[in-house]
A and B are shown apart, each in its own frame.
Chain A
Amino acid sequence: MENNKQNKYDLIIIGAGPAGLAASVYASRYKINHLVIGQIFDSSLFKAHLVENYPGFEKIKGADLIQKFYEQAKNLEAEIISEETVNIIQTHPQPPLPEKTGRGKRGVKNFKITTNLNKIFESRFILLTLGTKQRKLNIPGEKEFLGRGVSYCAVCDAAFFKNKKTAVVGGSDSAAMAALLLAEHAEKVFLIYRKGELRCEPVKKEQIEKNPKIEVIYETNIKKIGGQSKVEFVKLDKEYKNDLKLEINGVFVEVGAVPPETLIRNIGIETDQGGYIVIDKKGETTIKGFYAAGDVTTGSNGLRQIVTAVSEGAIAATSIYEELKKGN
């Protein structure tokens, strides 16, 4: 396979989370000339307090696990740059040719990538593993009180709420994890969820129900975050103990995640209604040579876990290797 000359690669992996780094490990072992563009702290795994469902590690901090993925990829001499991909264009649209003839002339670079530092890279194959971005509440007060009681990182900020009243918004695994972590420090944790039943793992639900500091407020949304210089209260859309106002000092937002829409929209690959990239069983999108893996895709039945991200990354890297072997 081709040597790297003037920023040209056989494969560029965009995103340095579990899917991207697993794909890099496989790509290195297949001797695919590749580049990874991304930063591990952009991965949602980085913020996970404790991971307890990734085989081989009974309990591990998300930041430590992603660091291990990173080190393994680096030890296999992967080239990883901490930049952000701002644009991807297809420079050589290839019509779908019969399998045996392949998908284009040898050496032709099909994609051009621009990063936030205006660096340009060319590649024959792309593997997009950008994961998802945390969704915001988009309510009054959320932006104004960021760092003044509004937080998107319970691991970072829980300790500042010792003996304070706090709220976590959401009902997912991440929300449950944030509530449990906050309960180690705060006097009281309200878990506010818009639906009638938490959607987190049953094992976490049980821990929440048993925790005397946590109280779940179901079928309720937050409409406003208010206070003077810091968060002092939230306004609910449904009365709790005969009041729409709930006095708290901190709001932790854990209302799920969405795929990064701009990059996806610009390149024009097919997505489902939620914006997740549609892939086939090889990990390829509707654009030939453009693959995707991990939380950003519709793959693995939408499970979106670390185990599914790494397996999708491995499958995509292997599919690309098969294509390169054919001489495409």
Chain B
Amino acid sequence: MAEIILTDQNFESEVIEFKSTPVLVDFWAPWCGPCQMIGPMITEIADEMKDKIKVGKLNVDESPETAGKYEIISIPSLKIFKDGEIVDEIVGLQPKEVIVEKIKKVLE
């Protein structure tokens, strides 16, 4: 598994303070059907683009502090961080190509 598990404890160091590449964060929950569908796509992206972007998954039930801080009220929710700031986001289930396209734009 190329993506990392994010929590309230490691979010700051793994995402906010991480400057080498942008970071894609998948905010999800086990009870959300569309999140289950987006999960494998995120894993594939983490694998296929591992040199270009860091990918992490944050379970909103287990890490409510971070989910609350970013005001997550709709999942699945993907946010792309660059130098600790959100530069793009996707709400709801989208095809893999749409997600990859957004990442490529951020990488330009």
Contact = CB atoms under 8 A, between A and B. Distances in A.
Interface of A: 39-41, 46-47, 61-63, 84, 116-117, 146-149, 151-153, 155-157, 159-161, 229-230, 250
B77 interface: yes
Contacts of A147: 73-74, 77, 89, 91-92
Closest 10 CB pairs of A and B: A147-B91, A63-B33, A160-B73, A147-B74, A41-B37, A156-B32, A157-B74, A151-B74, A156-B75, A146-B91
18 contacts: A41-B37, A47-B33, A61-B33, A63-B33, A116-B95, A117-B97, A146-B91, A147-B89, A147-B92, A148-B71, A148-B74, A153-B74, A153-B92, A156-B33, A156-B76, A157-B74, A160-B74, A230-B73
B99 interface: no
A46 to B, nearest CB: 6
A155 B74 contact: no
Interface string B6-39: 0000000000000000000000010111111100
B48 to A, nearest CB: 15
B33 A250 contact: no
Interface of B: 29, 31-37, 71-77, 89, 91-93, 95, 97
B73 A156 contact: no
A156 B97 contact: no
Contacts of B77: 147
Contacts of B71: 148, 229-230
B72 A46 contact: no
A250 B89 CA distance: 19
A161 B73 contact: yes
Main secondary structure of the interface of A (DSSP, over half): mixed
A155 B73 contact: no
B37 A156 contact: no
B58 to A, nearest CB: 14
Contacts of B37: 39-41, 46
A162 B89 CA distance: 24
A138 to B, nearest CB: 17
A230 B73 CA distance: 10
Contacts of A46: 33-34, 37
B93 A41 contact: yes
A78 B3 CA distance: 31
Contact of B73 (A63, A84, A148): A148
Nearest to B31: A159
Contacts of A40: 37
